[in-house]
Amino acid sequence: MTKQHVVLSEADKQFLEELLSKGSLKVRKQKRAIALLGLHRGQTLQSVSQTLGVSYPSVLSWRDAYEQSGLLLLDDKPRSGRPVEISGEQRAKITALACSKIPEGHAKWSLRLLADKAVELEFCEHISYGHVRKILKKRP
């Protein structure tokens, strides 16, 4: 007799089957749904991991996550990432500065000159000329 690693409620099972029948899912979400259904049907953790091409610990963590939070495990949790240092308003000011009159003694705006002027005008605390280039490159 095979061990049932996950016991899905009838509503959860039906939801997963409908979700998979739709066809357009993110791969991560699809793999998690298939894994849960496989574990519910009595497949081993090892066979599910081999079928989906994921590691054994991944399937193990999906099983544990289902037991703790239910179907919320299907969606990725938000990632913190690096906070934005230059806001949209500051970007707009830097872009406007690049379109403004060229300072005396210079033939044109250089990226270093723009970066120095942005700090001088207190648009931001610090900014590199490379970041100024990226800001101006995104302008249409």
How confident is the model over 43-60, as pLDDT tens digits? Answer: 999 999 999 999 999 999
Q: Are residues 93 and 63 part of one domain?
A: no
Q: In the 3-class helix/strand/coil scheme, how is the chain assigned residue by residue?
A: CCCCCCCCCHHHHHHHHHHHHHCCCCHHHHHHHHHHHHHHCCCCHHHHHHHHCCCHHHHHHHHHHHHHHHHHHHCCCCCCCCCCCCCHHHHHHHHHHHHCCCCCCCCCCCHHHHHHHHHHCCCCCCCCHHHHHHHHHCCC
Q: Are residues 15 and 70 part of one domain?
A: yes
Q: Are 36 and 6 in contact (CB under 8 A)?
A: yes
pLDDT at 94: 93
Q: Which two tokens stand for residue 76?
A: 């990725």
When divided into structural domains, the chain yields a total of: 2
Q: Are residues 69 and 97 part of one domain?
A: no
pLDDT at 25: 84
Answer whether residue 5 is part of any domain: no
Of 74, 65, 136, 60, which Cα lies nearest the Cα of 99? 136
Q: Are residues 45 and 97 part of one domain?
A: no
Q: Which domain holds residue 65?
A: 10-74
Q: Are residues 17 and 44 part of one domain?
A: yes
Arithmetic mean of pLDDT, 21-27: 85
Answer whether residue 114 is part of any domain: yes
Answer whether residue 83 is part of any domain: no
Arithmetic mean of pLDDT, 25-41: 91
Q: Are residues 95 and 54 part of one domain?
A: no
Q: pTM, whole model, 2 decimals?
A: 0.59
pLDDT at 33: 92
Q: Which of 19-23, 37-41, 112-116, 132-136 has the least mean pLDDT?
A: 19-23
Answer whether residue 113 is part of any domain: yes
